[in-house]
Copies of this chain bind each other. A is one copy, B any other.
């Protein structure tokens, strides 16, 4: 049985709270992570909350990368969802964890779209 996508749910604890609260830096880190994984960026949306926290998504041709930060807890929830065999979500995983300076993390990879029919090659 073949999966269409790979989805890493990444929990980052004890990050640098200053970075987590900086919309511009968080956005740059997520975009750089996409590029490090050789994904093609289609669009992105980021938002800073009052009094603190950043949410954002990078839509890639191969699915999406999302982040929500809670600077007051030093925590970030990160989702790295990719499809196709060209790119590796674990490259983005390592990039984000390192650049948010997470001292503790848990990661879980889920397979998405488990099909019992052969998967065509042309779909990213």
Contacts and interface: CB of A to CB of B under 8 A. Distances in A.
Contacts of A97: none
Interface residue SS majority, chain A: strand
A93 interface: no
A1 interface: no
A53 B59 CA distance: 13
Interface residues of A, number: 42
Protomer copies: 2
B81 A66 contact: yes
Contact of A75 (B70, B79, B113): B113
A88 to B, nearest CB: 18
A124 B52 CA distance: 10
A117 B70 CA distance: 13
